Structure 1
Amino acid sequence: MDPLERSESISKEFKENREKETWRRTCLLSFQSLGIVFGRLSTAPLYVFGSIHPGDFKSEKEIYELFSFIFWSLSIIPLLKYAFIVLRADDDGEGGTFPLYSLLCRYANVGLLPNDNSASEIMNHDSESDRIKVRTRARRALERHKIFHNLLFFLALFGCCMIIADGVLTPSVSVLSATSTFGRSMIKLSHRVFSSPKTRNQADKIFSKIPVPMSCAILVCLFSVQRFGTKKVGFLFAPIIIVWLTFISGIGVYNIVKDPKILHAISPIYMFRFFKRVDLRSWKLLGSIVLCVAGSEAMFTNLGHFSMKSIKLTFICLVYPALILSYAGQAASIARHLGTSDDVANLSEYVPDKTLHHAFAIVSIFASAVGSQATITASFSIINQCQSLSCFPRVKVIHTSDEIRGQVYIPDVNWLFMALSIGITVGFRSITPIGTATGLAIISGMLVTTCLMSLVISLPWERSLILSTCFLLFFGSLEAMYLSSSLLNFPRGAWFLLVLSVIFLTIMISWHYGTLKKYQFDVENKVSVDWLTDLSPGLGISRVHGIGFIHTNIVSGIPAFFSHFITNLPAFHEVLIFVCFKSLPIPYISNDQRYLIGRVGPKEYKIYRCVVLHGYRDNIRDCDDFEDHIVSSIGEFIAREVRDHEALTSPEGMMVLGRTMGRGSALIPMTISSTSDQTFVGNTTKSILSCDLAETSSAPALRKRVRFTLPEKSPQQDDSVRQELQHLVDARESGTAYFLGKSHLSVRRGSNLLKRFLVMIYIFLDQNCREPPVALNIPHAALLEVGMAYTI
């Protein structure tokens, strides 16, 4: 089965599960999505008009024209583009830049990810489906020119960087805008309470300094609650957003009634009037207006945390009408009070009753903290996808839900974002420069999605090239307009986005480059199976009791580090298993298709290969029962190998197997209690790693261990099969050890400066990763790392 057919089978399973989604579950997810997905869109009224300097408002007509831009931007981008079109381009329930890129990689040979080529080595592409054989003109053009491959990959990385940068900037601008509102409210309260000018001036000095330290304290609290997961955070934050939307929409209705002429600005004629007399000053205003669609990309990126139906329902029925009413009321209030105050653009200024100012300030603080949640969870999703596809350094990913696999939390990234957000808040101390940088990040990410989506319409959706071009021109022209306006604000703070994007792009490109070069080195320096079988007698290799798991990145041949080990220490276990993890550009791999099991060399050598397939959303790390499933799958392979030749695929005769433990007929598992050292460490490992054993805890924790036995003898199972299965069980009882290659990279002489820089960054990141290359809870005493020099 090729990757496309595998993807289609999983997609069919996903769609069947989605159709079974009840309205009760949809309503529950819709409620949670309010606190996660739509907090950003809902709190944008805090800083859209507020990020514009009061002196830039020249006339009442200009305010009406700006509201017309807000109305049509909300209607075209989040409503039409995302809710009705882009959400349908989900990759089996997953959304974001990388899922769009993975769709294109599967339907056209344009992938540059390190695991793309290796995946094709495993799969059998001879029996391609009819759909993949139809090569459209656009697909042929993309596949023929390498420059398009590089451009698409760069677009995917750039779009991810914009979402990550937005996740750093949004908490700062949201919280700082709300605390500034609170500070102004307290200043007004002090003016009513104190009559002495001296006391008022002292109060003004105190309350004017409140926003920055208060923002830092709120940011610490916000990032501290992320560890509780999407579900709990969603239930906690959703009521706050409901109260906030009710508050701003109600006040909006009040101000619309006071000035109903604002409803005339819904007509696009007002936008045409703006273009007729546009100048450089007024064009820069659009750089702040684009903030009204901030959070639209999060609707798509957070799709894996919820469902398309729940996100679409919540936005259309609640969020969109509430925002339109809020912006209309705010614009009407600004136009009515234009020139009467230096703070006329602040959202709190159009609250009708002064006694509600303080309540509004408190609600806005809570809402601003919630508003940052959408970009934070979106960043977690994007980084998890990038890491799975070898485009981001190894970080610990915690799956916070057993029901929805897309809900993840990344501790290291969370605390890094907190430090950066606090640094930005303290450094800029104003929402104007942070808002301009945020606006540029928002519109840049949207433009990347538009470009990739136009290709998805043409390739995976198989629609006409004319339709794809119309999508690109219609939405791309609007976003390009906002992009040009945001670039004019580059000196006013948008330059900081360039700093963030350069940092994140350097990290991602360096990691991708280093991983790709290491994989190419492994492929070029791998040793054939004949080397092991022909030279074993000459090397005097002895076989010792137990099972040896050799982790490798290649799916054929013998890895170079293991041949290096055998040459210097000619001994290995009586049963060898080459384990290879391969990520495919699809979200999930079914458990029934998780493993590819095959035999390496002659049958009497008892050397096997296991390729573990996983998607960019699968949680394959931190698996306590990984070894048990591998042994069980190999036992099933031994039992089925003789009688099921048709199931064997690829030159090495590999067989697709799932998680067969407890369901297979080859080995029967039995659970017992044992210490971790007794479970994994056999005689061989103890002798080699005696120094490591001395460092282990004196009171090892008890854990469950699985022992295997053979079923009763069956006429369908011959003696040779039972003998090999018994040999596998005995080897497991003798102990297991894990062999990992420890890479030491160096740059080839004569390499250019750019290559040296990328490799240097990769080495630094690799040495400082908090996660090991294979996080399978391997006991320290059972792990043996073999050093290998890589010259790239």
Structure 2
Amino acid sequence: MALANNGSEAEATEQPEHSGVEQHSTKVLMLGALGVVYGDIGTSPIYAFREALVAASGSELTKREDILGVLSLIIWALTIIVTIKYVMFVLRADNRGEGGTLSLMALARATFQKRSALVLGIGMVGAALFYGDAVITPAISVLSAVEGMKVVTPAFDPYVVPLTLFILAILFSVQRFGTGGVAMIFGPITAFWFLAIGASGIVHIVDDPEVLLAINPYYIVHFLINSPGVAFVTVGAIFLAVTGAEALYADLGHFGRKPIVLAWLSIVFPCLLLNYAGQAAYVLAKGGEVGHPFFEMNEGWALIPMVVLATAATVIASQAVISGAFSLTRQAVQLNMLPRLEIQHTSERQSGQIYMPRVNFILAIVVMLLVVGFQQSSSLASAYGISVTGNMLVTTVLLFVIMTRIWKWPLSVAVALTALFAFIDFGFFISNIVKVFEGGWASLAVAFSVVLVMWTWVRGSRYLFEKTRRNEIPLDFLAGNLQKKKPQLVAGTAVFLTSDPMSAPTALMHSLKHYKVLHEQNVILSVVTAPQPVVPDSERVKMETINELFMRVTLTFGYMEQPNIPKALAICRKQGWKFDIMTTSFFLSRRSLKASPSSGMPVWQDRMFIGLARTAADATEYFQIPTGRVVEIGTQVAI
């Protein structure tokens, strides 16, 4: 069962950690965050500076002013978008410790009860765009690193794509061991990666120390004014340097805010700036020849180790968006934007560390298809920016709602900050949207597919709820009538599982309708999941007697516990409910959905919703109920 996290119950919190994170050492979590959160943005130096220079000059030698302008754009993009927007503001907008677009949506939606559909739609688009990023990042990151072998020897060219696919297959196969286990392996490697690229940058800054002057935004203005023909395209390429910022927020629930902020300010940000400055100095020292500066400036004995380290780092970079996709999918399930999917919790200390087999499989297939289809990282670069910039725009819009309606900031402050963020985000978005036909269609196709699935599930669930609600009977009303006029009673206990303990379960109503009998004891049972890993037996069961025929029971399980209904019901004996499992029958309602032209949805969408509904986990197996004691009563519902 997913944790309940409805938009109406969402609360804005500015707590730096949630309970699971507090049990960890901050230093250990910082190391883990390096491996999971910053892998994506940490490998951008491999291709971002090169792509920006190519956009600025083509294949010709790059002018000194253009190189300093590109470097200045990267410095200020990292400062404003990542350091100011995400680290200082967005990370504070957590939803009970969880981050991501849907967390912001849930918080904002709670403040617009009458216009929640609009906010829901904005969040849905943002989430879908994140999935577009989640499939591009592993493909371009690993492919760009493996391409570094061509700098060593051009003879390696035919093996780039096969080796990339092999590495990706290994990456997705280890996800089942959990984010925590992966982070403890990836963290030290990523820490060494940042130190290595920082040192590499320092070595070459001395080639032309004037690159340090690029911190002055004057060089940005000079570049944009004097190179208007290429500035627009260059800005789109510059954005490659900040991809990964949204994954930083989506992974908030894995490590908490404090370790993520400290890792960025103390290690990631300084090392990135040093490496970009070193690449700029190296290109200036070569007279403006672009080439592949990241690998070329590690000449001699350092080249092959750097290629190997870059390959390892890009594998880790993919982890940030993969784990972010898991978190985002779980939130979508909790918010009823997707059907319930299998969620495996991989840590007893943190609820955010999860593994989702089906999501992992789909991501793996799409990522590998992109590698095979595009073949080169430079081709994938065109597909990269659209989904990320769109997602960042959505985050900016939702953050404005949080600032004004939940944090209660003065409107002037919120407008000023939002205008700054929106101006930059929109500029990046416009410069990337022109790449649709060059490869950007790939990420948009993924995002469109996700929006279609979410929209179908939300719309179909609403129609199904409205249809079944017309036939619902309040449980207390039914129990009172049956107490006055009892039907034929049979020995034993009947347990009816339901998600709504206040209404008569469908299985109960159909049992009365068709069998014309009622058990001597009838239990209306609901199962809830607590926001803690383990629930003690003393808090497991809550019982409420309705009358001598009916009783309402609620079972509570921790998020790390596998629900076991028969075992939990045994605790009821201590509270006075005597029952024998061998004379107890469990009744489950199973709806058989049928497409109907009168549902309000097109028939194709009806069928898509029905297909999604069939993906829900089997209740008998999930709750570990003995199959010999289960009676499933099915009904056909036309939607």
TM-score clears 0.5: yes
2:446 to 500, 511, 515: 500
Give the 3-state SS of the residue equivalent to 1:85 in structure 2: helix
Give the 3-state SS of the residue equivalent to 2:178 in structure 1: helix
Matching residue of 2:548: 604
Deviation at 1:484, TM superposition (A): 0.5
Mapped to 1, the partners of 2:638 and 2:589 lie a distance apart of: 15
Matching residue of 2:380: 434
Q: Tell me the TM-score normalised to structure 1 length.
A: 0.74
1:517 to 448, 463, 468: 463
Question: Is contact 1:544–1:573 with CA below 8 Å preserved after alignment?
Answer: yes
The alignment covers a number of residue pairs equal to 629
Matching residue of 2:218: 269
Matching residue of 2:589: 741
Mapped to 2, the partners of 1:4 and 1:440 lie a distance apart of: 28
Tell me whether 1:619 sits opposite 2:559 in the alignment.
Answer: yes
Give the 3-state SS of the residue equivalent to 2:98 in structure 1: coil
Question: Is contact 1:71–1:324 with CA below 8 Å preserved after alignment?
Answer: yes
Tell me whether 1:484 sits opposite 2:430 in the alignment.
Answer: yes
1:177 to 135, 144, 158: 144
Q: Please tell me the residue identity of whatever aligns with 1:395.
A: L
1:292 to 233, 238, 241: 241
Mapped to 2, the partners of 1:783 and 1:474 lie a distance apart of: 59
Name the CA shift for 1:368/1:161 in 2 (closer, same or farther; >3 Å): same
Deviation at 1:176, TM superposition (A): 0.3
Deviation at 1:208, TM superposition (A): 1.3
Name the CA shift for 1:365/1:60 in 2 (closer, same or farther; >3 Å): same
Deviation at 1:538, TM superposition (A): 7.1
Matching residue of 2:613: 766
Matching residue of 2:26: 26
Matching residue of 2:209: 260
Name the CA shift for 1:220/1:456 in 2 (closer, same or farther; >3 Å): same
What do the CA deviations read for 1:733-788 (whole angstroms, capped 9, x no partner)?
54433222211223443455x54332211111222445559822223222222111
Tell me whether 1:150 sits opposite 2:154 in the alignment.
Answer: no
Q: Superposed, which structure 2 residues align to 1:125-274 within 5 Å?
A: 143=114, 146=115, 149-187=116-154, 204=155, 207-274=156-223
Question: Is contact 1:254–1:329 with CA below 8 Å preserved after alignment?
Answer: yes
Give the 3-state SS of the residue equivalent to 2:153 in structure 1: helix
Mapped to 1, the partners of 2:210 and 2:541 lie a distance apart of: 66
Q: Superposed, which structure 2 residues align to 1:437-456 within 5 Å?
A: 437-456=383-402
Matching residue of 1:348: 295
Matching residue of 1:640: none
Deviation at 1:328, TM superposition (A): 1.0
Question: Is contact 1:94–1:587 with CA below 8 Å preserved after alignment?
Answer: no
Tell me whether 1:379 sits opposite 2:383 in the alignment.
Answer: no
Mapped to 2, the partners of 1:388 and 1:407 lie a distance apart of: 16
Q: Superposed, which structure 2 residues align to 1:50-89 within 5 Å?
A: 50-52=50-52, 54=54, 56-57=56-57, 58-89=62-93
Question: Is contact 2:596–2:606 with CA below 8 Å preserved after alignment?
Answer: no
Mapped to 2, the partners of 1:435 and 1:769 lie a distance apart of: 36
2:418 to 466, 472, 483: 472
Mapped to 2, the partners of 1:176 and 1:431 lie a distance apart of: 6
2:285 to 325, 328, 336: 336
Name the CA shift for 1:768/1:99 in 2 (closer, same or farther; >3 Å): closer
Q: Which moved more, 1:514-523 or 1:236-245?
A: 514-523
Question: Is contact 1:337–1:344 with CA below 8 Å preserved after alignment?
Answer: no
Q: Please tell me the residue identity of whatever aligns with 2:268.
A: V
Q: Please tell me the residue identity of whatever aligns with 1:82.
A: Y
Matching residue of 1:363: 309
Mapped to 2, the partners of 1:39 and 1:587 lie a distance apart of: 29
Name the CA shift for 1:399/1:620 in 2 (closer, same or farther; >3 Å): closer
Name the CA shift for 1:16/1:177 in 2 (closer, same or farther; >3 Å): closer
Matching residue of 1:44: 44
Name the CA shift for 1:48/1:3 in 2 (closer, same or farther; >3 Å): closer
| Structure 1 residues without counterparts, runs of 5 or longer | 111-142, 188-203, 636-707, 711-724
Question: Is contact 1:229–1:400 with CA below 8 Å preserved after alignment?
Answer: yes
Instruction: Give the RMSD, CA atoms, in angstroms.
Output: 3.1
Question: Is contact 1:522–1:559 with CA below 8 Å preserved after alignment?
Answer: no
Q: Which moved more, 1:479-488 or 1:266-275?
A: 266-275
Deviation at 1:293, TM superposition (A): 1.0
Mapped to 2, the partners of 1:782 and 1:14 lie a distance apart of: 47
Matching residue of 1:124: none
Q: Which moved more, 1:284-293 or 1:530-539?
A: 530-539
Q: Which moved more, 1:273-282 or 1:419-428?
A: 273-282
Mapped to 1, the partners of 2:618 and 2:344 lie a distance apart of: 12
Tell me whether 1:395 sits opposite 2:338 in the alignment.
Answer: no
Q: Please tell me the residue identity of whatever aligns with 1:150.
A: A
Matching residue of 1:777: 624
Deviation at 1:453, TM superposition (A): 1.2
Q: Which moved more, 1:429-438 or 1:226-235?
A: 429-438
1:311 to 256, 260, 263: 260
Deviation at 1:285, TM superposition (A): 1.7
Q: Which moved more, 1:501-510 or 1:522-531?
A: 522-531
Question: Is contact 2:344–2:354 with CA below 8 Å preserved after alignment?
Answer: yes
Name the CA shift for 1:152/1:175 in 2 (closer, same or farther; >3 Å): same
Q: Which moved more, 1:386-395 or 1:73-82?
A: 386-395
Q: Please tell me the residue identity of whatever aligns with 2:548.
A: E
Mapped to 2, the partners of 1:394 and 1:92 lie a distance apart of: 20
Mapped to 2, the partners of 1:263 and 1:418 lie a distance apart of: 41
2:491 to 544, 548, 551: 544
Greater Rg by CA: 1
Name the CA shift for 1:581/1:436 in 2 (closer, same or farther; >3 Å): farther
What do the CA deviations read for 1:19-53 (whole angstroms, capped 9, x no partner)?
x948x700111111111111111111112134457
Q: Please tell me the residue identity of whatever aligns with 1:176.
A: L
Mapped to 2, the partners of 1:431 and 1:53 lie a distance apart of: 16
Question: Is contact 1:14–1:92 with CA below 8 Å preserved after alignment?
Answer: no
Q: Tell me the TM-score normalised to structure 2 length.
A: 0.90
Question: Is contact 1:86–1:453 with CA below 8 Å preserved after alignment?
Answer: yes
Percent pairwise identity: 26
